[in-house]
Structure 1
Amino acid sequence: MSSLAALYRYPLKSALGQSLQQSAVDGLGLVGDRRWMLVDAERGLFLSQRSVPRLTQLHTQVTAEGDLVLSATDFPDLHVPVPVSGDLRQVKVWYDSFEAPDAGDAAAQWVSNFLGKPTRLVYMPAERARTVGADYGKEGDKVAFADGFPLLLIGQGSLDDLCARVGRSLDMIQFRPNLVVQGSPAFAEDGWKRIRIGDVDFRVLKPCARCILTTLDPQTGERSADREPLTTLKGYRLQDGHAMFGQNLVCDGAGVLEVGMPITVLE
């Protein structure tokens, strides 16, 4: 039987993730996942490891109240409260342009010093969540600061298959999933439409198109000289011009997930 092998949360979009044993989940994904984001101070455009590899060196924690704690080598930790009456800042994630509460000047100074350029930190309250693309989701499906969908699932068997083809070990965190499944064949998740983990139901919306971010070493931020594993993925996982690896999900309802829970394929 398939089961949940790992849970990962990314409090700040594109910064280091956290491995969890248990997490609450709702319509926006794992609670506390990608509710914070860094943007270019002038244009409001989101920043990610694609253009700023140094984000692989930024550690984050989320408090019980949802506040963010930033930490990095040679920088003092900074506790950033959830903005309650902060100014709204116009920001952009891919083609979505919207307003999000700014976390204030102290946080902006910290992240600007860390990245070496003017940067602002913003927060996503549930009531301002973006709408999932109508081509894939249904009315009421929402997403915080993730690229397009609240959750990403990858099968361990799929990673094992990719590692064998690349010829070296790859770290699952390199692909930034939220949910890792064990006990299913390689790419079994490609055929799933609805699944249940414990008592929580999920819809599988579309494959995840992978980019240059997968070639970054999650520990150092350095790019692989041979552009792996993206080169290999393009060789056998190409669909509509994109290398696909993992499946994007939404959660129907809310509940609690825990590593080891059984996974049932409903459809």
Structure 2
Amino acid sequence: MNLVELFIYPIKSCGKIPLNQAEVTLKGLAGDREFMWVDESGQFVTQRTYPQLTKIRVQQLENEIELSVDNQEIEPFKLQPTLTGTSKTVQVWRDQTVAIDQGDAVADWLQNALKQDEQPYFRLMRQSPDFIRPVDPNYAVNPNNQVSFADGYPCLLTNTASLAELNRKLKETYSTSSQEIPMNRFRPNIVIDTNQPFIEDNWKTILIGEVYFDLVKPCSRCIVTTTNQKSGERNELKEPLKTLATFRQQPRGVMFGFNMIPRNTGTIQVGDSVEVVEIL
């Protein structure tokens, strides 16, 4: 088994950046979900309610982050991230933490990019290094476990064989390949290549490169999986969530992929072997 793809999403719910190599920090891959959009009350904003956020492409430059939108007459925006802006309390699910406002210019750019002439008006916030957001204590391995602006856990792992099985069922249901989907619907950080679907359900600890990961909770899926990650359009048949629910429904939701917590920092890269250290 090998690691075949690595992704970070610098801005929560916006475009991905593929990597050949990543630094693993205690709160996930370096640069992943360090930023997020919030509404005027400080509530986090995602594709769940604004699927068009996926059309915001993100590119990391040397000291800047470039935002752009395909096929629109709007110039890309180069953001100079800051840790000296106005601090504000923000909400991510049940968590409250403090983040740093990235300024009016990027907020105005998003308003234009999304063609929103009226409210809501979103602000881009950066996670403050002075405030740790802890992992849910019900799943934390130790009290020091922390997370970025990801939904709840530092890293998300998916498996190529699981996607192949889902696409097989979709093709079987619709007698066509028209509903088959790419892995980007699940917005993973780490994609591994195996020949057994959902084999990770039985893992407790794995080693990738020089980093140990504890698999703490299967990932429950939502309407984002029905959103085309290029166009922002929702699938009218609610696929693949509808089909996934026929064979991956569990008490806490419809599951695909696994949430992980790194035990240590280090480097991982595409091609690394995946070693199962401990099973359930």
In structure 1, the residue matched to 2:35 is: 36
2: distance between equivalents of 1:222 and 1:8?
Answer: 22
1:117-140 deviations in whole A, cap 9, x for unaligned? 311000013332310000001211
TM-fit CA distance, 1:266: 0.3
Kindly indicate whether residue 21 of structure 2 is the aligned counterpart of residue 17 of structure 1.
Answer: no
Kindly indicate whether residue 205 of structure 2 is the aligned counterpart of residue 208 of structure 1.
Answer: no
Tell me if the contact between 1:32 and 1:62 (Cα under 8 Å) persists in the aligned partners: no
Tell me if the contact between 2:98 and 2:128 (Cα under 8 Å) persists in the aligned partners: no
- The one-letter amino acid of 1:77's match is P
Name the SS of the counterpart of 1:189 in structure 2. Answer: helix
Please show how residues 138-177 of structure 1 align to structure 2 within 5 Å. 138-167=142-171, 168=177, 169-177=180-188
Q: TM-score, normalised by structure 2?
A: 0.91
TM-fit CA distance, 1:257: 1.2
Name the SS of the counterpart of 1:131 in structure 2. Answer: coil
In structure 1, the residue matched to 2:121 is: 118
Please show how residues 193-232 of structure 1 align to structure 2 within 5 Å. 193-232=204-243
Name the SS of the counterpart of 2:245 in structure 1. Answer: helix
Identity, in percent, stands at 38
TM-fit CA distance, 1:258: 0.9
Tell me if the contact between 1:29 and 1:251 (Cα under 8 Å) persists in the aligned partners: yes
Match of 1:235 among 226, 229, 246: 246
Match of 1:60 among 33, 58, 61: 58
Name the SS of the counterpart of 1:201 in structure 2. Answer: strand
Tell me if the contact between 2:3 and 2:191 (Cα under 8 Å) persists in the aligned partners: yes
Kindly indicate whether residue 74 of structure 2 is the aligned counterpart of residue 75 of structure 1.
Answer: yes
Structure 2 gaps of 5+ residues are 172-176
1:190-236 deviations in whole A, cap 9, x for unaligned? 11110000111111110000001100111211111111110111111
RMSD: 1.3
Name the SS of the counterpart of 1:247 in structure 2. Answer: strand
In structure 2, the residue matched to 1:45 is: 43
TM-fit CA distance, 1:69: 1.9
Bigger Cα displacement from structure 2, 158-167 vs 70-79: 70-79
Aligned residues: 264
